[in-house]
Structures are given as structure tokens and as C-alpha cells.
Amino acid sequence: MFEKVLIANRGEIALRIHRACHEMGIKTVAVHSTADAQAMHVRLADETVCIGPPPARASYLNVVAILSAATITGADAIHPGLGFLAENADFAAAVEETGFTFIGPSPEHIRLMGDKVRAKAEATRLGIPVVPGSADAVRNIAEAERAARAIGYPVLLKASAGGGGRGMKLAHDAAALAQLLPLAQAEAKAGFGDDSVYLERYLDRPRHIEVQVLGDGQGGIIHLGERDCSLQRSHQKLLEEAPSPAFDLPGLEPGPRERLLALAVGALQELGYKSAGTMEFLYQDDAFYFIEMNTRLQVEHPVSEMISGVDIVQEQLRVAAGLPLRHRQSDIAPRGHAIECRINAESPEDFRPSPGRVTEYHAPGGPGVRVDSALYQGYEVPPYYDSLVAKLIVHGATREECVMRLRRALAEYVIGGIETTIPLHQRIVDEPEFRRGEYDIHWLERFLKPAP
């Protein structure tokens, strides 16, 4: 096992990885920007290295500085966390070439799944249904119109190299498509350094359901059940739960869950996948459509940990060190229900970022409550990074118990000095449709729309 791991990330996820390392007796190295000198992931690490000024491209995306920090501290391995360099195949390759272990999948798998057009083609080859769409990137308006006619309107324009729910555009007809294509291409180029855009049929009321998998690259592949991430705003997840209530709605035949989990595991077995990964699907009218695979740890991984009892980060560390998975599928018996609320430093009304000093801080606790956060009283939330500052995760024997526990935990959470999305979560958990588990990916947008 590794003796020292460098964590190439910040905030709650850096702390999450630090926790897994320390529980395994592994020392940690925190790298940080000058804006994060007082951050909790830095304060708790065994060693720290400042790698640059606040902008991410000069620090958390600075490959040379990160590899130098690993060299001078004598780290054995690098965990990229999520976001930043986590899905950068060139970074993963550079880590390995410099003589460190990359804690994640192979660069080839990262590259394959990072190109969403190639990923869909690979999924099809592996026998997984995908959303009907253009087989390739569309280069001009004529190509786009031809593809859209074959798919049927409305269509969604997506960046091949996209991620984080950004840059998607909806076209209801040919005129809108002609207008939106150049915009989508320009945005894709600016956001992801690649102007390739492809088309997909727009589903009007799907749920977003994803499967958490773990592989050891030695033939061992297991799933930890599914997560429902349909509560989204601007294609960004806000609340996630496991298992998905979609499979427990009254009147539904049993079977879709088992079908989905078998599809995901079968495909990754054939790929020989190593480390943690997530296969994302849309689910509508009892049909699943693969949309993408994330070759990394996900923000919402704790809900799967809560129902399965598996520490996903510890498994990532183990398989990166060449060990087999600690669990077989037959050992995993999902228990109860878990929900995660993403708490962002944002106005709960208009979602404007709300950086600043945390003047008061009290985290909820008690049975079945987990808080993944690097916040503390006196901490200054910097304006330079993602607005996610805490994740409140609760577990209950049933979904109903879980929701009641979530209500009381949200009411206990005190974060003073900055605005957060806690009041919005409080409104959501009181909604009858949410209570019944009846929501799709467009539900939250409808809920947030002011009454006419």
C-alpha cells in the first residue's frame, strides 16, 4: 500500500480523500493555491505545498507544479479528486510517466469516455442502448439538419468534449438549429478547447439514473446499486438519492433495476475497467438510454456508500496499489435509503454566488447523518472556485425515514455570513411530489418558475 498520497484537489473532496487515506494509515500531501492557504484540507494534511496563485489554471490545473510537489514531498501516488484534472487523460499519463501511481482508471479509458461521441459508439458496441442521435460530430448546418431530420425534433446540441451540464442547447426546429449550431460550436471551443458538437433526441420527461461501479482491472467488477440524480437545475445536480424511487413507484413491474445494473456491469467487465466509475442513463417509458460515463469519483458518491457500506475512495486506493477489490457482488446487500443535498454558497433565489466569511457554523449530527464539508467558522469562501461548500447526506431504513431525517438535519444546519442553498432544499423536501418520489429532470425548473 502507498505510504504517501498527494491530493490534487481542494475543498470537501480533498478532505474526503484525506479521510480515506488516514483511515488506511496513509500520509497526505495537500497542494493549494494562495487563496486556499487557510483551507481545512490544507490544515489537516501531513504536508502542504503551495502550487500557485488563485486562478485554477495557474494552480489546481498546473500539471508541472503538481508533479513537482509530488517529487519534492516523495509521494507515491496522486489522487485527482473530481473536476480539475480528474478526467484529463494526458495528466493521468504524465503522472504515470513521472513514476507516480495515478489513482483512477487507465488513461485509455479516460480518453475513450471523455469523447462523448466515441463513448456512445463504444456503449452501442457493448450492447447498451443510447439516446438516438448523430453518429458523429456535425460539422455544418447541412449535416446538422440531415441528422436532426433523421432523429426527429426537438434535438439537443451537445459538446463532444463537454461536461458539468454546460453548453447544451435545445432546438425545436430547423431554423433554431441553424441559429444555435454556430453558438454551440463557439461555446464548446471556449469551454472545452474543442468545437465538436453532436445531436441527440431531446427526452421530455426522463429521470437521470446512474450506476456506481468499481473495478480492479483484474477481472473484478461490482456495482453499488443505482442513484437517482433527476433533481437538477440547468443540467446541474442539486439533490441525489439511492436507490432510485423510480423503481418503487406503484404499479411498476419488477425488473428494470436489475436490467440496468446487469447492463452496466457487463459492459465494464468487457472493458476491463479499473477504479471507480459511473455510467449515466436517462430513463423514460421503461427504457434506458446511456448518455455518458464518468471515469472518476462523483460528487454524489456518498449516497452509494451509505446504502452499501463500501468506502469507494478506499477501494480506489486499494486497486490503484494493485490489490483486488475487497468485496464481491454477493457481499453487497444495499440497506435502506440515502439522500444527499448539495449545499452551494449561492443565493437560494437567483443562484448568484455568495463567497465571503463564514461567521457562524454548526453542522447537523445524530443518527444517520453525514456531513462532507471543509467549512469552519471564520473560513473565507473564496470567489474563484466551484460554489459547492458542503454535502449533507442522510441515511434511513426507509425513504420516508430518510426524508424526515433530512428535514430535521437541514433545520439544524447553521451557516452564517454567506447565503446557501439550504432554504431551497427545505422547500423541496416538503413538496408532495418529491415526497412521493415523482419527479423527472425537468421537475425542479418547473418548481422554481414563479407562479404566473
- Residues forming contacts to ligand ADP in the complex (CB under 6 A) are 131, 156, 162-166, 200-203, 206, 208, 232, 235, 280, 282, 291-292, 441
> CB-hemisphere CA count at 13 Å for 169?
21
Q: How far is the CB of 430 from ligand ADP (least distance, A)?
A: 23
Whether 191 contacts 162, CB under 8 Å: yes
Amino acid at 255: G
| Catalytic residue numbers, as ranges | 296
d(CA 230, CA 440): 6
For cell 433530512, name the residue. 406
| CB atoms inside a 10 Å sphere around CB 341 | 26
Smallest distance, ligand ADP to C-beta of residue 280, A: 5
Residue 253 vs 449, nearer CB to ligand ADP = 449
Residue 399 is placed in which grid cell? 425513504
CB of 202 to ligand ADP, least distance (A): 5
The answer to whether 230 and 207 have CB atoms below 8 angstroms apart is yes
Closer residue to ligand ADP (CB): 100 or 281: 281
Which CB sits closer to ligand ADP, 393 or 441? 441
Helix (H) or strand (E) holding 395: strand 388-396
C-alpha cell at 152: 426527429
Q: Which residues pair with 287 in a beta bridge?
A: 284
What is the smallest separation between the CB atom of 296 and ligand ADP, expressed in angstroms?
12
Q: Which residue lies nearer to ligand ADP by CB, 235 or 326?
A: 235
Give Dmax over CA atoms of the chain in angstroms.
61
Q: What region, left, alpha or beta, does residue 25 occupy, with left being phi > 0 and alpha being psi -120 to 50 degrees?
A: left
Secondary structure of residue 306 in the 3-state scheme = helix
Report the nearest approach of ligand ADP to the CB of residue 423 (Å).
23
Cβ proximity to ligand ADP: between 13 and 441 the closer is: 441
- The three cell numbers of residue 191 are 469551454
Residues 447, 428: contact at Cβ < 8 Å?
yes
Report the nearest approach of ligand ADP to the CB of residue 223 (Å). Answer: 19
By C-beta, is 156 or 267 nearer to ligand ADP? 156
Coil, helix or strand at residue 163: coil
**Smallest distance from ligand ADP to CB 79, Å:** 22
Nearest to 307 by CA among 265, 340, 280, 276: 340
Instruction: For residue 109, give the nearest of 78, 86, 127 by alpha carbon.
Output: 86
Residue placing its CB nearer to ligand ADP in the complex, 103 or 131: 131
Short-list 63, 61, 79, CA closest to 24: 79
Gap between the Cα atoms of 317 and 306, Å rounded? 19
